[in-house]
Amino acid sequence: MARVRHNIARLFFAGEAGDEKRRELVVDLKTPRFLPPSDQAMSLPDHLNEDQHAAMRHVLRAQDYALLVGMPGTGKTTTISELIRLLVSRGKTVLLASYTHSAVDTICKKLIRSNSADEEATSSVDLLRLGDKSRIDSAIHPYVLADSANVEDFEAKLLKPNVVATTCLSVGHTLFAKRSFDYCIVDEASQVTLPTCLGPLKFAQIFVLVGDPQQLPPLLIRPAKSTSPASTG
């Protein structure tokens, strides 16, 4: 809870401790900026449909943030995976986040499979997965941050990967005091409360929220109602 409260407070801090850009976008509702559409041909994955291509073009034009909305089964996870690969091929770094480990791992597994299938390695993803290993899919374990014998080796493992994946509540990791990212992509964003979502957003120049606001509300844990006579009123 302390971290979530800090996420909100940071919007209003002055100077370097604050987050003026996110405050303008989230609190003041400043209109996001986009580059004008380009006539230049863009190489996009053939196996994606036109709606997915349009979503990727939309993100590439964004200068502040982009929202991608899709119903279940419309290919949002595949779009995210291919978008990350496209951004990496353009020399960008990406922070991938979601509220649950399972959502993060689903995209990570797609990225790993895509790496294996990319014989030319034109958009190879150097993936780092942060989090409690016991809660991470075993297929992702080779990409989880390992212990290091010295500080230099540890920092190299943190700073080198072009894609870092974690949950929204795990952004208090040492890594995030050391680097920032070009893009932050939050999957299942409609399941994340705004104060929690602010955590990963502050580490990137541009953020992308992906989800279906009609599917599920943010996940909240409330105390169970008491059934004792004293609570009935």
150-206 pLDDT tens trace:
778 777 888 889 999 999 998 877 767 778 999 999 999 988 999 999 999 999 999
**Do residues 112 and 143 touch, judged by C-beta distance below 8 A?**
yes
Question: What pLDDT is recorded for position 82?
Answer: 96
Question: What pLDDT is recorded for position 108?
Answer: 97
**Do residues 65 and 207 touch, judged by C-beta distance below 8 A?**
yes
Number of H helices, E strands in the chain: 7, 6
Q: Token digits for 91? A: 């020399």
Question: What pLDDT is recorded for position 222?
Answer: 59
**Do residues 176 and 203 touch, judged by C-beta distance below 8 A?**
yes
Sheet holding 163-167, edge to edge: 65-69, 204-211, 181-186, 94-98, 163-167, 127-129
**Do residues 186 and 201 touch, judged by C-beta distance below 8 A?**
yes
Question: Helix 101-117 to helix 76-89 angle, to the nearest 10 degrees?
Answer: 60
Residues of the chain predicted below pLDDT 70:
1, 17, 117-123, 147-149, 175, 216-233
Question: What pLDDT is recorded for position 153?
Answer: 79
- pTM to 2 decimal places: 0.87
- For the CA atoms of the chain, what is the radius of gyration? 19
Q: Smallest Cα–Cα separation from 95: which of 120, 66, 130?
A: 130
Question: What pLDDT is recorded for position 123?
Answer: 60
- Please tell me the class of the 49-211 domain: alpha beta
Indicate the DSSP class of residue 147.
Answer: P
Q: How far apart are CA 216 and CA 98, in angstroms?
A: 14
Q: Where are the domains positioned within the chain?
A: 49-211
**Do residues 108 and 134 touch, judged by C-beta distance below 8 A?**
no
